[in-house]
Amino acid sequence: MKKENQKIHNSNFIEACNNAINGIIYATTTQSNVKKQLILAVVLLFISLFFNLSKAEFLALVFAMFLIIFAEMINTAIETIVDLYTDIYHPKAKIAKDVGAGAVVLAAFNGVVVAYFLFFDKIGIAGTSILQQVINSPEHLTFVAIMFVIIAIVALKATNIQRKNKMKNQSFVPSGQSAVAFAALTAIWINTDNIIIFTLSLILSILVVENRIETKMRSVSEVIFGGAIGVLIVLLIYTLTIIR
């Protein structure tokens, strides 16, 4: 009876954020379409590095990608609610699922249209000039690198949750906050010669790590592993796009 009467609303902002992250990880773990869309997002973000996209164009690309994943997660939520309330065929249940699937199709069509107008007339551009455009756009490069870090952490957490469910024991989960903090720190280190800015960024990154350990949300090894992932991915992205 206590479980049935348990409150399901969030008691504070931190709990709300954690539950939202759990929802994203659940969708990534259980929905094959979300996994495919995340892989496609990684590919498109990497490709965008080699095209001279304006801020508005890059924003349109990111919005289109997130809209598809958002629609897929809403569709998953609708299907879960429908299955919760009925386990037999009902015309209205079918309508709810069909409308949810239709939203995903519309979002995907929108993504195709956006990608077409962004990339079609630029496909023929190749060579060192494209690489130079990437080098001259550190903000774009940094944003894409950090996006890669976030996607990698979500994928790792989803994989670890699957392993935990199969093995029935505690799994190793890298710290996402540490990964993002040290990814940003690495990007700042690469792009600035100002020692004050770098020092302040380093202090903030250390505070993030210390908070995760002190609150016992993550172990020392999980924090170190997360930070290492952030540093390595940013270095890899910069190496692939800048060093010839």
Range of the domain at 59: 11-48+53-124
Question: CA-CA distance, 86 to 89, in Å (whole number)?
Answer: 8
- Spell out the residues 6+ positions from residue 133 whose beta carbon is closer than 8 angstroms to its own: 50, 51, 52
pLDDT value for 81: 86
pLDDT value for 4: 46
| CA torsion through residues 26, 27, 31, 36, sign | negative
Question: CA-CA distance, 41 to 34, in Å (whole number)?
Answer: 10
Whether the CB-CB separation of 48 and 58 falls below 8 Å is answered with yes
The answer to whether residues 138 and 117 belong to one domain is no
The answer to whether residues 162 and 221 belong to one domain is yes
Residue 5 lies in a domain: no
pLDDT value for 121: 63
Domain harbouring 104, CATH code: 1.10.287.3610
Residue numbers annotated as active site: 72
Give the model confidence (pLDDT) of 125-154 as tens digits.
544 454 455 555 566 777 778 888 888 887
Maximal CA-CA distance, the chain: 67
The answer to whether residues 93 and 131 belong to one domain is no
User: Last residue of some domain: 124, 152, 176?
Assistant: 124
The answer to whether residues 219 and 231 belong to one domain is yes
User: Last residue of some domain: 70, 91, 124?
Assistant: 124
Residue 178 lies in a domain: yes
Give the model confidence (pLDDT) of 85-123 as tens digits.
777 777 888 888 888 888 888 888 888 888 878 876 665
pLDDT at 74 over 50: yes
Residue 120 lies in a domain: yes
The answer to whether residues 92 and 191 belong to one domain is no
The answer to whether residues 59 and 94 belong to one domain is yes
User: Last residue of some domain: 63, 90, 124?
Assistant: 124
The answer to whether residues 103 and 165 belong to one domain is no
- Other C-beta atoms lying within 10 Å of the C-beta of residue 192: 13
The answer to whether residues 134 and 213 belong to one domain is yes
pLDDT value for 3: 45
Whether the CB-CB separation of 215 and 243 falls below 8 Å is answered with no
Question: CA-CA distance, 89 to 121, in Å (whole number)?
Answer: 48
Give the model confidence (pLDDT) of 159-207 as tens digits.
776 666 555 555 667 788 888 888 888 888 887 777 877 787 888 888 8
The answer to whether residues 239 and 137 belong to one domain is yes
pLDDT value for 136: 54
Q: How many domains does the chain have?
A: 2
- Spell out the residues 6+ positions from residue 230 whose beta carbon is closer than 8 angstroms to its own: 149, 178, 179, 180, 181, 182, 183, 184, 185, 186
pLDDT value for 127: 44
Question: CA-CA distance, 153 to 191, in Å (whole number)?
Answer: 24
